Amino acid sequence: MKIAIIGAGAAGSICAIELKRRIPSAEVDVYEAGKRPLAKVAITGGGRCNLTNSFEGIRSLGEAYPRGEKLMKRLFRNFGHAETLRWFEDEGIRFVLQEDHCYFPASQDAMEIVNMLCLRMRQEGVRIHTGHKVSTIGREETQGYVLSFEDKPDAFADIAVVATGGCQSKSSQNMLEALGLEIVPPVPSLFSFNISDRELTALMGTVVEEASVTFAGTGFSGKGPLLITHWGLSGPAILKLSSHAARHLADKAWKGRLLVNWTGMNEQELRPMLGTLASAQSHKKISNTHPDTIPVRLWEHILRKAGAREDLRWNELGTKGLNRLVNTLLNDEYEVTGKSRFKEEFVTCGGIALQNLNPSTLETKTSPGLYFAGEVTDVDAITGGFNLQAAWTMGYTVARAIEAKAKAYSVLPG
Ligand X SMILES: Cc1cc2nc3c(=O)[nH]c(=O)nc-3n(C[C@H](O)[C@H](O)[C@H](O)COP(=O)(O)OP(=O)(O)OC[C@H]3O[C@@H](n4cnc5c(N)ncnc54)[C@H](O)[C@@H]3O)c2cc1C
Residues in contact with ligand X by CB under 6 A are: 6-12, 31-34, 39-41, 43-45, 49-50, 133-134, 163-165, 172, 175, 344-347, 374-376, 385-388, 391
Nearest to ligand X of 108, 266 (CB atom): 108
CB of 211 to ligand X, least distance (A): 23
Report the residue number, 39 or 111, with the smaller CB distance to ligand X. Answer: 39
Minimal distance, residue 1 CB to ligand X, in Å: 21
CB 376 to ligand X: min, Å? 6
Identify residue 260 by its one-letter amino acid code. Answer: V
Angstrom distance (rounded) from CA 155 to CA 172 = 18
**Measured between alpha carbons, how far is 411 from 369 in angstroms, rounded to an integer?**
14
- The sheet with strand 102-105 has its strands ordered as 52-53, 102-105, 95-97
Given the complex with ligand X, which of 129 and 324 has the nearer CB atom? 129
When the beta carbons of 47 and 272 are compared against ligand X, the nearer one is: 47
Q: Considering the complex, state which of residue 174 and residue 282 has its C-beta at the smaller distance from ligand X.
A: 174
| Minimum CB–partner distance for residue 15 and ligand X (Å) | 9
Nearest distance in Å: CB 52, ligand X: 7
Residue 336: beta bridge partners? Answer: 195, 256
The closest residue (CB) to ligand X is 9
DSSP, collapsed to helix, strand or coil, labels residue 11 as helix
User: Taking the complex as a whole, how short is the minimal distance between the CB of residue 326 and ligand X, in angstroms?
Assistant: 38
Cα–Cα distance between 259 and 394 in angstroms, integer? 37
DSSP for 102-171? EEEETT--HHHHHHHHHHHHHHHT-EEEET--EEEEEEETTTEEEEEESSS--EEESEEEE------SHH
If the CB atoms of residues 9 and 264 are measured against ligand X, the closer one turns out to be 9
Q: Write the CA distances from 257 to 149, 215, 216, 269, integer angstroms.
A: 46, 6, 6, 25
